Amino acid sequence: MVTGGAGFIGSAVCRHLIATGNYTVINVDKLTYAGNLASLKPIDNNPAYHFQQVDICDGARILDLLQRYDVEFVMHLAAESHVDRSIDGPAAFLETNVVGTFSLLQAARSYWEALPAERAGAFRFHHVSTDEVFGDLPFDSGIFTEETSYAPSSPYSASKAASDHFVRAWHETYGLPVVLSNCSNNYGPYQFPEKLIPLVILNAMEAKELPVYGKGENVRDWLHVEDHARALETVMTQGRIGESYNIGGNAERTNLSVVEAVCDILDKAHPLAGDAARRDLIRFVTDRPGHDRRYAIDASKAERELGWSPRETFESGLAATIDWYVNNEWWWRPLRDTRYSGKRLGMAATTKQVST
């Protein structure tokens, strides 16, 4: 069971798991604004893939699905995830990320406690979280490890931190076999257009302004979503019960350098009329409240214990991502035209998508 499987990372996980041929995948998604079933089109007709439109807060329906499909693994990605939206409307983040995780844990616990011993021993609950729970780092030092203290800065990251604590508590109190992972900023195909990289790609393709917060100095570690999907399968199947694993791309970049890289790749592959430079479209805008300075992930534990490491460099992954958006207007055009104006949220689009 993948919760939030119609979101950016969740859909990548569903596509990856089905591609291995080793799993039957039950995608559970409420289909909020960022949930998009078009992202599942490559696997929609696969007999091993099943979609269920269910809210994770509905514990009775979740328990029914766990029992109906004899679920062995739960990978929990469903969450409200955009920082700006959490500042404007924090209640939804509390409901989905905290209450929803609680409801899911209760359903998983009831299901697991009723399983025969052998199947109970194989069951895993994998909670997928974010590096934003750790707060931020100075520009010139420090890195997040699994032992870093939590210090969330936004309603979004506070809600994710709370959900992480609930998952650990259900392991310590009830023995539920859990594993956790915290990821850095994801990018790649099928990412909702309010996020930094797709927003910049699409605006730059159309020669529109490219809004950047402050001076663009904020630093993020970038992880290609397909590398993340491989990591999540590995943590789910090989991670030690009760442990957490940081997943990062070893690719720290300032937001400004990310925007400039997109401009340069598009200028070379798809030049504007008169060879105008897309960097000239960059506009610096007022920073958002509580904007974390820098995130940096130490993924050595996952590399050492699980043998996982990213395959994509930032350069190779970004080039492939730009190429995907150039060639897949069928996916992003309906979102851009009907579901998302890009006028306000684009200015804040510096965070990762971890959910529906």
Instruction: Write the CATH number for 147.
Output: 3.40.50.720
First to last CA, the chain: 14
Active site residue 131: yes
Tell me: pLDDT of 285 over 70.
yes
Identify whether 321 is part of a domain.
no
DSSP state of 37: G
| pLDDT at residue 355, as a whole number | 30
Pairing of strands 219-224, 124-130: unpaired
Q: Rounded to whole angstroms, how far apart are CA atoms 285 and 299?
A: 33
Q: How confident is the model at residue 257 (pLDDT cuts 50, 70, 90)?
A: very high
Identify whether 43 is part of a domain.
yes
Identify whether 275 is part of a domain.
no
Q: How confident is the model at residue 299 (pLDDT cuts 50, 70, 90)?
A: very high
Q: Which two tokens stand for residue 54?
A: 């269910």
User: In terms of residues, how long is the chain?
Assistant: 356
Identify whether 201 is part of a domain.
no
DSSP state of 93: H
Tell me: pLDDT of 13 over 90.
yes
Closest Cα partner for 52 from 67, 42, 137?
A: 67
Query: Which is the catalytic residue, given 55, 131, 233, 292?
Result: 131
Give how many domains the chain has, as a whole number. Answer: 1
| pLDDT at residue 87, as a whole number | 87
Active site residue 206: no
The kind and range of the H/E element at 255 are helix 255-269
Query: Which is the catalytic residue, given 49, 156, 325, 340?
Result: 156
Q: Rounded to whole angstroms, how far apart are CA atoms 199 and 191?
A: 9
If one counts every other C-beta atom within 10 angstroms of the C-beta of residue 270, the result is: 12
* The overall pTM is greater than 0.85: yes
Query: Which is the catalytic residue, given 55, 84, 132, 260?
Result: 132
Identify whether 269 is part of a domain.
no
Mean pLDDT (whole number) for 268-272: 97
Which residues have C-beta within 8 Å of that of residue 39, sequence separation ≥ 6? Answer: 6, 7, 8, 11, 190, 331
Identify whether 244 is part of a domain.
yes
Active site residue 132: yes
